[in-house]
């Protein structure tokens, strides 16, 4: 069992078993070139903004703070469509014998493929953003899709899923992981195609494609970082739910900067921190979260790690953090009301989680032991991904404008 250090409500684990050679081939530039080729074929594709918070960085003694704003991804207000549409495409390629290196959206929308694809039905469980991506992708291809959401999901997110692609959406009375098992069973019974962003024994190929789909934003970011005049980020903070996004970021970053991998940190809500709990156990195995599974960070409210990405999340990050909702709320306010001439980033509860932690480490003297442990100083270039915009507008307003969850 590994030591957990705590300052106020923020918990940290240092990984004593970091293995920087455990870089996954799954997320190499060569193995993800098909992803970028397909994404470029989607109308409206473009690199999402990489926002540099220059005034904030100068005020708090680091070289740069960089935020990849995924609220601009495909007009979905979140990053998840990048993984969902690629997984659907790879599944279709497999079923219809299409070369994934050659496939484009226009090809799938034309005869003779269109007629066969429209016979397919897709199903998934989501906290919001993944389901929106699946509904959008299925809608572009003229397919039927069903999306099930766990209890506590807000209706505005459900309606957004319906509006973007016509999926049939149901908010259930089950927690996330129970809902995943339910949709997997339903898919088997109905002969539908399950496109889920978590994995378990026997269900790993499709989640692997989803994880690869997320790599596009990191390869974009690497190019943008170079254009800004930086060789690499020195520190990367990434949020985790089941760990699909976290694995995609950690794996792609490690492949791109394999000769000098940044300090990698995973952040999670303390009430559903399955990656943190797995790291705490320290036996190399994935473990179920131990908290209440109640958090405003809806996109991270997942209690069972993804088996595809856990091996890389076990070996590559140097630190794991868990903290309460008020830290994420703080991040929303920091990004939503920027310093000086910095660009505003509208970031939802899950998207702003890394910034909430970073702001504590940089601004608050009581967190200096953690700051010093990570080596954050005047030479640091900090990178994070804001994974979503205001996907719950009312909740966003209550935090950013009304000061809910103060810290």
Q: Which residues are catalytic?
A: 80, 127
**What is the spatial distance between Cα 332 and Cα 398, in angstroms, rounded to a whole number?**
11
Q: Strand order in 235-239's β-sheet?
A: 5-7, 10-14, 319-323, 263-269, 235-239, 381-386, 64-69, 50-52
Question: What is the token pair recorded at 360?
Answer: 């504590």
The Cα 313–Cα 280 span in angstroms is: 13
The tokens describing 135, both together, are 């509904």
Could you tell me the two tokens for 318? 């140097």
Helix H or strand E segment including 343: none
Give the residue from 191, 217, 216 showing the smallest Cα distance to 351: 217
70-97 CB burial, b ≥16 within 10 A, e <16: bbbbbebbbbbbbbbbbbbbbbbbeeee
Structure tokens at 309: 């990405």
Which residues sit opposite 386 in a β-bridge?
69
Nearest Cα to Cα of residue 255 among 14, 17, 20: 20
Q: How far apart are alpha carbons 43 and 160 in whole angstroms? A: 20
Strands 263-269 and 10-14: unpaired
Sequence-distant (≥ 6) Cβ neighbours of residue 65 within 8 angstroms = 52, 53, 56, 57, 358, 382
Element (H, E) at 304: none
Q: Are strands 168-171 and 193-194 parallel, antiparallel or unpaired?
A: unpaired
């Amino acid at each position: 069992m590994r030591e957990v250090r705590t300052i106020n409500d923020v918990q940290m684990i240092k990984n004593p078993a970091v293995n920087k050679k455990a870089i996954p081939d799954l997320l190499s530039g060569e193995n993800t070139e098909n992803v970028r080729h397909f994404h470029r074929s989607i109308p409206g594709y473009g690199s999402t903004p990489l926002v540099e918070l220059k005034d904030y960085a100068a005020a708090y003694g680091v070289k740069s703070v960089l935020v990849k704003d995924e609220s601009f991804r495909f007009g979905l207000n979140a990053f998840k469509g990048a993984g969902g549409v690629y997984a659907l495409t790879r599944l279709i390629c497999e079923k219809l014998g299409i070369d994934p290196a050659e496939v484009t959206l226009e090809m799938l929308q034309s005869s003779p493929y269109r007629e066969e694809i429209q016979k397919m039905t897709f199903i998934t469980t989501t906290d919001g953003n993944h389901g929106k991506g699946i509904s959008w992708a299925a809608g572009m291809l003229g397919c039927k899709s069903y999306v099930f959401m766990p209890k506590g999901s807000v209706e505005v997110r459900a309606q957004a899923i319906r509006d973007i692609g016509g999926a049939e959406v149901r908010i259930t009375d089950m927690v996330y992981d129970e809902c995943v098992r339910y949709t997997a069973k339903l898919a088997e019974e109905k002969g539908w195609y399950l496109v889920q962003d978590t994995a378990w024994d026997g269900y790993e190929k499709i989640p692997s494609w989803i994880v690869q789909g997320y790599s596009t934003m990191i390869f974009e970011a690497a190019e943008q970082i170079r254009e800004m005049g930086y060789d690499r980020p020195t520190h990367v903070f990434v949020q985790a739910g089941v760990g699909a996004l976290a694995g995609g970021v950690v794996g792609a970053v490690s492949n791109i900067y394999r000769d000098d991998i940044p300090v990698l940190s995973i952040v999670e809500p303390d009430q559903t921190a399955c990656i943190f709990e797995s790291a705490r156990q320290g036996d190399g195995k994935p473990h179920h979260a131990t908290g209440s599974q109640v958090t405003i960070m809806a996109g991270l409210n997942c209690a069972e790690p993804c088996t595809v990405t856990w091996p890389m999340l076990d070996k590559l990050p140097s630190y794991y953090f868990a903290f309460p909702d008020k830290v994420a709320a703080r991040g929303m306010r920091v990004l939503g009301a920027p310093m000086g001439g910095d660009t505003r980033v509208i970031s939802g509860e899950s998207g702003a989680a890394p910034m909430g932690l970073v702001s504590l480490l940089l601004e608050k003297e009581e967190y200096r032991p953690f700051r010093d442990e990570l080596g954050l100083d005047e030479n640091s270039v900090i990178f994070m991904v804001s994974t979503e915009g205001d996907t719950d507008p009312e909740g966003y307003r209550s935090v950013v404008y009304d000061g809910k969850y103060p810290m």
